[in-house]
Protein backbone atom coordinates (compact mmCIF):
# COMPACT_ATOMS: atom_id res chain seq x y z
CA UNK A 1 0.00 0.00 0.00
CA UNK A 2 1.48 3.30 -1.01
CA UNK A 3 1.23 6.57 0.88
CA UNK A 4 0.52 9.81 -0.89
CA UNK A 5 2.66 12.79 0.06
CA UNK A 6 2.24 16.46 -0.67
CA UNK A 7 4.87 19.05 -1.29
CA UNK A 8 5.07 22.63 -0.12
CA UNK A 9 4.90 24.31 3.29
CA UNK A 10 2.47 23.02 5.90
CA UNK A 11 -0.85 24.79 6.17
CA UNK A 12 -1.20 26.60 9.51
CA UNK A 13 -4.43 27.77 11.06
CA UNK A 14 -4.61 31.48 11.67
CA UNK A 15 -6.73 33.65 13.91
CA UNK A 16 -8.06 37.15 13.20
CA UNK A 17 -5.64 38.54 15.80
CA UNK A 18 -2.57 37.13 14.07
CA UNK A 19 -3.66 37.07 10.43
CA UNK A 20 -1.24 39.03 8.26
CA UNK A 21 1.03 40.19 11.08
CA UNK A 22 4.11 38.42 9.70
CA UNK A 23 4.00 40.67 6.66
CA UNK A 24 3.92 43.84 8.73
CA UNK A 25 6.70 46.37 8.71
CA UNK A 26 8.59 46.96 11.94
CA UNK A 27 6.45 50.04 12.60
CA UNK A 28 3.19 48.16 12.10
CA UNK A 29 4.41 45.28 14.27
CA UNK A 30 5.29 47.71 17.04
CA UNK A 31 1.83 49.29 16.86
CA UNK A 32 0.26 45.84 17.14
CA UNK A 33 2.48 45.02 20.13
CA UNK A 34 1.43 48.28 21.80
CA UNK A 35 -2.24 47.51 21.15
CA UNK A 36 -1.81 44.08 22.75
CA UNK A 37 -0.01 45.61 25.75
CA UNK A 38 -2.79 48.12 26.26
CA UNK A 39 -5.45 45.44 26.03
CA UNK A 40 -3.79 42.92 28.35
CA UNK A 41 -1.71 45.33 30.43
CA UNK A 42 1.43 43.27 29.86
CA UNK A 43 3.10 41.38 27.00
CA UNK A 44 5.76 38.66 27.08
CA UNK A 45 8.66 38.32 24.65
CA UNK A 46 8.25 34.53 24.52
CA UNK A 47 4.64 34.94 23.39
CA UNK A 48 5.19 37.76 20.92
CA UNK A 49 8.07 36.15 19.01
CA UNK A 50 6.13 33.09 17.78
CA UNK A 51 2.96 35.13 17.27
CA UNK A 52 4.77 37.41 14.83
CA UNK A 53 7.11 34.69 13.55
CA UNK A 54 10.20 36.76 14.33
CA UNK A 55 13.14 36.25 16.64
CA UNK A 56 13.20 37.07 20.34
CA UNK A 57 15.90 39.63 19.59
CA UNK A 58 13.60 41.38 17.11
CA UNK A 59 10.82 41.63 19.70
CA UNK A 60 13.26 42.99 22.26
CA UNK A 61 14.28 45.69 19.78
CA UNK A 62 10.60 46.49 19.21
CA UNK A 63 10.02 46.83 22.95
CA UNK A 64 13.04 49.12 23.25
CA UNK A 65 11.59 51.37 20.55
CA UNK A 66 8.25 51.48 22.37
CA UNK A 67 9.98 52.12 25.71
CA UNK A 68 11.94 54.98 24.17
CA UNK A 69 8.63 56.45 23.02
CA UNK A 70 7.40 56.30 26.62
CA UNK A 71 4.37 54.09 25.92
CA UNK A 72 5.64 50.89 27.59
CA UNK A 73 7.99 50.05 30.42
CA UNK A 74 10.43 47.18 30.01
CA UNK A 75 10.06 44.52 32.70
CA UNK A 76 11.60 41.09 33.11
CA UNK A 77 10.48 38.96 30.17
CA UNK A 78 8.45 41.62 28.41
CA UNK A 79 6.81 45.00 28.92
CA UNK A 80 3.82 46.70 30.51
CA UNK A 81 1.72 49.48 28.99
CA UNK A 82 2.18 52.98 30.36
CA UNK A 83 -0.44 55.67 30.46
CA UNK A 84 0.31 58.12 27.70
CA UNK A 85 -1.64 60.72 25.77
CA UNK A 86 -5.29 59.66 25.92
CA UNK A 87 -4.66 56.05 27.03
CA UNK A 88 -5.50 55.09 30.62
CA UNK A 89 -4.91 51.67 32.15
CA UNK A 90 -7.67 49.99 34.13
CA UNK A 91 -7.96 50.32 37.91
CA UNK A 92 -7.60 46.55 38.26
CA UNK A 93 -4.36 46.44 36.28
CA UNK A 94 -2.84 49.36 38.16
CA UNK A 95 -3.78 47.80 41.51
CA UNK A 96 -1.69 44.74 40.65
CA UNK A 97 1.33 46.57 39.20
CA UNK A 98 4.25 48.00 41.22
CA UNK A 99 2.47 46.84 44.38
CA UNK A 100 5.51 46.90 46.67
CA UNK A 101 6.43 50.40 45.55
CA UNK A 102 2.87 51.66 46.07
CA UNK A 103 2.75 50.25 49.60
CA UNK A 104 6.02 52.04 50.42
CA UNK A 105 4.75 55.32 48.96
CA UNK A 106 1.47 55.08 50.89
CA UNK A 107 3.27 54.40 54.19
CA UNK A 108 5.56 57.36 53.58
CA UNK A 109 2.60 59.60 52.74
CA UNK A 110 0.88 58.92 56.07
CA UNK A 111 4.00 60.14 57.89
CA UNK A 112 3.49 63.63 56.45
CA UNK A 113 -0.01 64.24 57.75
CA UNK A 114 1.43 66.56 60.45
CA UNK A 115 -1.82 67.07 62.35
CA UNK A 116 -4.08 67.72 59.37
CA UNK A 117 -7.72 67.28 60.35
CA UNK A 118 -9.40 67.63 56.95
CA UNK A 119 -7.71 65.53 54.30
CA UNK A 120 -8.47 65.25 50.59
CA UNK A 121 -7.63 61.87 49.03
CA UNK A 122 -7.66 61.78 45.25
CA UNK A 123 -9.15 59.13 42.95
CA UNK A 124 -7.15 56.31 41.37
CA UNK A 125 -5.11 53.33 42.52
CA UNK A 126 -2.53 54.96 44.78
CA UNK A 127 -5.27 56.53 46.93
CA UNK A 128 -6.61 53.04 47.64
CA UNK A 129 -3.20 52.04 49.00
CA UNK A 130 -3.20 55.22 51.08
CA UNK A 131 -6.67 54.42 52.43
CA UNK A 132 -5.40 51.06 53.69
CA UNK A 133 -2.53 52.78 55.51
CA UNK A 134 -4.79 55.47 57.01
CA UNK A 135 -7.37 53.00 58.30
CA UNK A 136 -7.24 53.07 62.09
CA UNK A 137 -4.81 55.98 62.11
CA UNK A 138 -6.87 58.36 64.22
CA UNK A 139 -9.69 60.86 63.81
CA UNK A 140 -9.98 63.01 60.69
CA UNK A 141 -12.45 64.20 58.09
CA UNK A 142 -11.76 62.60 54.73
CA UNK A 143 -12.95 64.24 51.52
CA UNK A 144 -12.68 62.13 48.38
CA UNK A 145 -14.07 61.69 44.87
CA UNK A 146 -13.11 57.98 45.01
CA UNK A 147 -15.87 55.50 45.75
CA UNK A 148 -13.38 52.70 46.63
CA UNK A 149 -11.56 55.00 49.08
CA UNK A 150 -14.82 56.17 50.64
CA UNK A 151 -16.09 52.60 51.00
CA UNK A 152 -12.91 51.47 52.73
CA UNK A 153 -12.55 54.40 55.12
CA UNK A 154 -16.25 54.62 55.98
CA UNK A 155 -15.70 51.42 58.01
CA UNK A 156 -13.32 53.29 60.34
CA UNK A 157 -15.40 54.71 63.25
CA UNK A 158 -12.80 57.44 63.90
CA UNK A 159 -13.22 58.96 60.45
CA UNK A 160 -15.87 61.20 58.96
CA UNK A 161 -16.00 60.53 55.22
CA UNK A 162 -17.39 63.04 52.72
CA UNK A 163 -17.89 61.77 49.17
CA UNK A 164 -18.08 64.31 46.38
CA UNK A 165 -21.23 64.12 44.26
CA UNK A 166 -21.39 63.86 40.50
CA UNK A 167 -20.85 61.49 37.59
CA UNK A 168 -18.86 58.34 38.34
CA UNK A 169 -16.12 57.45 35.86
CA UNK A 170 -16.21 53.73 35.09
CA UNK A 171 -12.46 53.29 34.72
CA UNK A 172 -11.52 54.69 38.15
CA UNK A 173 -14.83 54.82 40.04
CA UNK A 174 -14.05 58.46 40.73
CA UNK A 175 -16.59 61.30 40.79
CA UNK A 176 -16.26 64.24 38.38
CA UNK A 177 -18.13 67.18 36.81
CA UNK A 178 -19.73 70.33 38.20
CA UNK A 179 -21.41 68.81 41.26
CA UNK A 180 -18.04 67.67 42.58
CA UNK A 181 -16.42 71.02 41.84
CA UNK A 182 -19.22 72.98 43.55
CA UNK A 183 -18.85 70.89 46.70
CA UNK A 184 -15.10 71.44 46.76
CA UNK A 185 -15.48 75.20 46.31
CA UNK A 186 -17.32 75.37 49.65
CA UNK A 187 -14.66 73.46 51.60
CA UNK A 188 -11.44 74.45 53.36
CA UNK A 189 -8.99 71.53 53.32
CA UNK A 190 -5.86 71.16 55.45
CA UNK A 191 -4.02 68.65 53.27
CA UNK A 192 -4.57 67.19 49.80
CA UNK A 193 -2.97 63.99 48.54
CA UNK A 194 -3.01 64.34 44.76
CA UNK A 195 -2.16 61.82 42.05
CA UNK A 196 -1.59 62.26 38.32
CA UNK A 197 -1.17 60.24 35.16
CA UNK A 198 2.06 62.10 34.53
CA UNK A 199 4.37 64.61 36.19
CA UNK A 200 7.08 66.34 34.22
CA UNK A 201 9.35 69.32 34.80
CA UNK A 202 8.16 70.92 31.57
CA UNK A 203 4.42 70.18 31.58
CA UNK A 204 3.69 69.89 35.29
CA UNK A 205 0.99 67.47 36.43
CA UNK A 206 -1.33 66.05 33.78
CA UNK A 207 -4.21 63.64 33.36
CA UNK A 208 -6.18 62.29 30.39
CA UNK A 209 -9.68 63.52 31.19
CA UNK A 210 -10.60 67.25 31.32
CA UNK A 211 -13.31 66.56 33.91
CA UNK A 212 -10.77 64.85 36.19
CA UNK A 213 -8.32 67.70 35.70
CA UNK A 214 -10.98 70.20 36.77
CA UNK A 215 -11.69 68.36 40.03
CA UNK A 216 -7.99 68.00 40.83
CA UNK A 217 -7.38 71.68 40.08
CA UNK A 218 -10.17 72.74 42.43
CA UNK A 219 -8.97 70.43 45.22
CA UNK A 220 -5.50 71.96 44.96
CA UNK A 221 -6.93 75.49 45.12
CA UNK A 222 -8.99 74.68 48.24
CA UNK A 223 -6.13 72.99 50.13
CA UNK A 224 -3.58 74.67 52.38
CA UNK A 225 -0.99 71.93 51.82
CA UNK A 226 -0.55 69.66 48.79
CA UNK A 227 1.40 66.45 48.42
CA UNK A 228 1.85 64.54 45.17
CA UNK A 229 2.23 60.79 45.53
CA UNK A 230 2.77 58.34 42.69
CA UNK A 231 4.94 55.57 41.28
CA UNK A 232 8.24 56.36 39.58
CA UNK A 233 6.67 55.59 36.17
CA UNK A 234 4.64 58.82 36.46
CA UNK A 235 7.78 60.96 36.43
CA UNK A 236 8.72 62.32 33.04
CA UNK A 237 5.34 61.29 31.57
CA UNK A 238 2.65 63.65 30.35
CA UNK A 239 -0.98 63.33 29.32
CA UNK A 240 -3.60 65.47 27.64
CA UNK A 241 -4.79 67.84 30.38
CA UNK A 242 -2.51 69.91 32.59
CA UNK A 243 -3.91 70.80 36.02
CA UNK A 244 -0.99 71.93 38.22
CA UNK A 245 2.63 73.05 38.39
CA UNK A 246 5.27 71.03 40.21
CA UNK A 247 5.84 74.16 42.31
CA UNK A 248 2.28 73.91 43.68
CA UNK A 249 3.38 71.05 45.93
CA UNK A 250 5.42 71.01 49.12
CA UNK A 251 6.30 67.34 48.68
CA UNK A 252 6.60 64.71 45.94
CA UNK A 253 6.54 61.14 47.27
CA UNK A 254 7.58 58.24 45.06
CA UNK A 255 9.61 55.04 45.19
CA UNK A 256 13.35 54.49 45.25
CA UNK A 257 12.91 53.28 41.67
CA UNK A 258 13.12 56.95 40.65
CA UNK A 259 16.80 57.77 40.24
CA UNK A 260 18.47 60.17 42.67
CA UNK A 261 19.42 62.34 39.69
CA UNK A 262 15.80 62.68 38.56
CA UNK A 263 14.72 63.37 42.14
CA UNK A 264 17.20 66.25 42.37
CA UNK A 265 15.95 67.68 39.08
CA UNK A 266 12.37 67.74 40.31
CA UNK A 267 13.47 69.04 43.71
CA UNK A 268 15.18 71.97 42.00
CA UNK A 269 11.72 73.24 41.07
CA UNK A 270 10.77 73.76 44.71
CA UNK A 271 9.18 70.73 46.41
CA UNK A 272 11.03 68.24 48.55
CA UNK A 273 11.25 64.81 46.89
CA UNK A 274 10.90 61.72 49.10
CA UNK A 275 11.97 58.35 47.66
CA UNK A 276 10.39 55.64 49.83
pLDDT tens, position by position, 215-254:
999 999 999 999 999 999 899 988 889 999 999 999 999 9
Q: How does pLDDT run across 40-96, given as a tens digit for each residue?
A: 878 999 999 999 999 999 999 999 998 888 788 888 899 888 765 555 555 555 555
- Buried b vs exposed e over 157-178: b needs ≥16 C-beta within 10 Å? eebebebbebeebebbbbbbbe
Q: How does pLDDT run across 121-155, given as a tens digit for each residue?
A: 999 999 999 999 999 999 999 999 999 999 999 99
Instruction: Give domain status of residue 118, yes or no.
Output: yes
Phi and psi, residue 187, nearest 5°: -110, 155
State the CATH number of the domain containing residue 252: 3.40.50.1360
Q: How far is CA 258 from CA 30, 253, 262, in A?
A: 27, 10, 7
Q: Note whether 228 and 192 are within 8 A (CB).
A: no
Q: How many domains does the chain have?
A: 2
Cα–Cα distance measured from residue 226 to residue 206, given in angstroms and rounded to the nearest whole number: 15
Task: Tell me, yes or no, whether 239 and 264 share the same domain.
Answer: yes
Q: Note whether 33 and 43 are within 8 A (CB).
A: yes
Q: Note whether 45 and 74 are within 8 A (CB).
A: no
Mean pLDDT of the chain: 87
Task: Tell me, yes or no, whether 28 and 66 share the same domain.
Answer: yes
Torsion 136-184-213-151 (CA) sign: positive
Task: Tell me, yes or no, whether 61 and 156 share the same domain.
Answer: no
Task: Tell me, yes or no, whether 159 and 267 share the same domain.
Answer: yes
* pTM score: 0.73
- Give the per-residue pLDDT at 1: 44
Q: Note whether 219 and 189 are within 8 A (CB).
A: yes
Instruction: Give domain status of residue 3, yes or no.
Output: no
Instruction: Give domain status of residue 235, yes or no.
Output: yes
Task: Tell me, yes or no, whether 76 and 99 share the same domain.
Answer: no
Task: Tell me, yes or no, whether 221 and 154 share the same domain.
Answer: yes
Which of 251, 257, 274, 187 is closest to 223 using CA atoms? 187
Highest mean pLDDT among 8-12, 39-43, 105-109 belongs to 105-109
CB-CB neighbours of 118 under 10 Å: 19
Instruction: Give domain status of residue 136, yes or no.
Output: yes
State the CATH number of the domain containing residue 59: 1.10.10.10
Task: Tell me, yes or no, whether 43 and 173 share the same domain.
Answer: no
Residues of the domain holding 25: 21-81
CB-CB neighbours of 195 under 10 Å: 23
Cα–Cα distance measured from residue 95 to residue 236, given in angstroms and rounded to the nearest whole number: 21
Determine the 3-state secondary structure of 85 from DSSP.
strand
End-to-end Cα spacing for the chain: 75
Amino acid sequence: MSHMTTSGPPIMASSPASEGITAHSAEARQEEILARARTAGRVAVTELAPAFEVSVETIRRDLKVLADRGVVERVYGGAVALESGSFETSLEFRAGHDVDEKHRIARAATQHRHGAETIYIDEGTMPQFLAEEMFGGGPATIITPSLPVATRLAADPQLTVIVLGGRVRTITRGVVDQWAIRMLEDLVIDLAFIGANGISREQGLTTQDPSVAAVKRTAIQRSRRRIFFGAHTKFGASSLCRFADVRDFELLITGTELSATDARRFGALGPKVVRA
